[in-house]
Structure 1
Amino acid sequence: MASAKQIVAELGRPGPHQVLRGDLALVGLPGVLFTPASGELLPAVAFGHDWLNPAPRYLGLLRHLASWGIVVAAPDTERSPFASHRKLAGDLRTALDVVSTVRLGGTARGAAVSVDPRKLGLAGHGMGAAAAVLAAATPPPATRVQAVGEPYWESGSEIAEARGQVEAVATIALSESRPPAQDAARAVHRPGLHIAFGKDLVSPPSAGAEPVAAAWAGPSVLRTVKKASHMAIVEGRHWSDLVLDGKADLGVGTTVKALLTGFLLHHLNGEKAYADLVDGAVKGTEVRVYRESSTV
């Protein structure tokens, strides 16, 4: 079996699939969509953007995932200074519902692609990472009346294996949220990969990813990229750069692409060849396993 170093080298490069870009606005939700040019019953992930940042700042990462056979939907909502984590979490859920219930794309040279509703994941950066945790903690569909004072992610919690059940969650430089992602993490029983940045002044690992990884109910791995700053994975320039510390780093971006791709392919598509990447030794990173299982 290939080592973690070899897997990073492989998955850090674009995958074998041609990629198509779409627009979620066609179904009433602002955002972008990337799919492989063809495929049936593919895995899919909804990706949440950071505070103030537009979804197009992640086009390289989203396109990379699609090149490896993963359908990716990124809502471009809740971008104001007073954005709601809860609403962005709802939009991530909506994006998963859309991609898992309709056929996507299709050209004169190829048929539309389809998503397997049993292969759904959530991911995000900063604020979007926290929203992904909130979204994962909300079982679909919530069918019973919520009790007074009950955390909203517990509503409908007796439902198992419902259509749209999220199977894996990845967070990148997770920021604090309202309601707290740490509390929601206690209701997430699926595998979680939490990528923290060691030089992050916006969301230091001790305040963001670490408590969430420790509270996670399911298999949980914390991977710290030691020399990365908060904005390491974004692209281009945006006015939010004036208020958020850090800048894009190509090397960090490549590492994160490989880690995220391997985690999603392993847990959503059952590709065991990438299992060692989840908690194996990767140059420039430190890894801590909070909770193991046979599926980590």
Structure 2
Amino acid sequence: MASVIPGKALAPKAVVAELSRPGPYPVLRGELALVGLPGVVFTPASGTALPAVAFGHDWLQPAGRYLGLLRHLASWGIVAAAPDTQRGPVGSHRGLAQDLRTALGVVSGVRLGGTARGAAVSVDPHKLGVAGHGMGAGSAVLAAAVPAADTRVQEVGEPYWEVGHGVAIQAVATIALTDTQPSAVEAARAVHLPGMHLGFGRDLVSPPAAGAELLDKAWAGESSLRTVKKATHLGLLEGRHWSDILLDGKGEPATRTLVRALLTGFLLHRLGGDGRYAGAFDGVVKGTEEGSG
């Protein structure tokens, strides 16, 4: 876990006010496809030993509908990668989970960006997180439930999340989670990591009682639950896509702004060790309810 950066914890209102704005770092965009994995990555223009997060998309959604969120995270010093895989009607949840882990392995294993005249960006392999929206939130849980040091051969019938290898994930954030196959809710019983779970109060695809609240109750590690009261399932998305006709809701600027602030604060706190942003997770935040409300 990241070392704690000293500083007085900010009030929740101050956290949201600060982190809803773009951060101080210039941002660069790259393509994960250069290393064989379709997707995008955003980084600060410079920095070493940075935290990183892999972000999973919702059902049918291209990674391009989250570019503003990824860019926002990078502007606050967080390397943000989003695989653009498993986008079909029957996309594999465990496949997306593996792609999230692969993305983290890529960004933490190579120098990112840079030129002959400028230093490249590096990621600290001990500051890695996963996050996601809808289906991608469920896949993020599956990705986190794989023990990093476990290299056993999986036995027939053994749950997917009990075996695995590779990166060591340190924190998980879920947004408007929809359950997966295998079940993210069941997998959460094996996740002994800090988790932040955001439900959307007007979500008809996965109401908080059927998603975020169940996940919070099953979570093995430290967990915080918050409901964004007026958000619909698609509220986080940017732009338009043909799949909008299949799902309830629409893109909502207010939802995007609030989620960006909360997710940024969670990652800066849990991965970056910045205690100033801890207050957003256990205090009053306008437009949200703590716990099940």
Instruction: Please indicate the TM-score interval, normalised by the length of the shorter structure.
Output: over 0.9
TM-score, normalising length: structure 1: 0.93
User: Structure 1: how far apart are the matches of 2:279 and 2:262?
Assistant: 11
* 1:207-262 C-alpha deviation (Å, 9 max, x unpaired): 11111111000001111001100011111110010101111111111110000000
- Which residue number corresponds to residue 99 of structure 2? 91
Choose from 225, 241, 245 the match for 1:242: 245
Alignment of 1:76-115 (within 5 A): 76-107=84-115, 110-115=118-123
Choose from 154, 179, 185 the match for 1:176: 179
Uncovered stretches (5+) of structure 1, i.e. residues with no partner: 157-161, 290-296
Uncovered stretches (5+) of structure 2, i.e. residues with no partner: 1-8
1:287 corresponds to 2:285: no
Choose from 247, 251, 255 the match for 1:252: 255
Change (3 A) 1:131 1:206: same
User: Structure 1: how far apart are the matches of 2:117 and 2:251?
Assistant: 36
TM-score, normalising length: structure 2: 0.94
**One-letter code aligned to 1:17:** Y
- Which residue number corresponds to residue 16 of structure 1? 24
* 1:173-220 C-alpha deviation (Å, 9 max, x unpaired): 000210010110000000000000000011111111111111000001
* 1:148-197 C-alpha deviation (Å, 9 max, x unpaired): 322121126xxxxx862111000000002100101100000000000000
User: Structure 1: how far apart are the matches of 2:266 and 2:65?
Assistant: 22
Choose from 223, 227, 231 the match for 2:230: 227
Native 8 Å contact 1:230 1:246 kept in 2? yes
Native 8 Å contact 2:135 2:180 kept in 1? yes
Alignment of 1:37-116 (within 5 A): 37-107=45-115, 110-116=118-124
- Following superposition, the deviation at residue 76 of structure 1 comes to 0.1
Native 8 Å contact 2:59 2:136 kept in 1? yes
* Helix, strand or coil at the partner of 1:269: coil
User: Structure 2: how far apart are the matches of 1:108 and 1:169?
Assistant: 35
Percent of aligned pairs with the same amino acid? 70
Native 8 Å contact 1:117 1:163 kept in 2? no
How many residues align? The count is 284
User: Structure 2: how far apart are the matches of 1:182 and 1:150?
Assistant: 16
User: Structure 1: how far apart are the matches of 2:52 and 2:33?
Assistant: 18
- Following superposition, the deviation at residue 110 of structure 1 comes to 2.6
- CA RMSD after TM alignment: 1.3
* Helix, strand or coil at the partner of 2:40: strand
Which moved further from structure 2: 146-155 or 51-60? 146-155
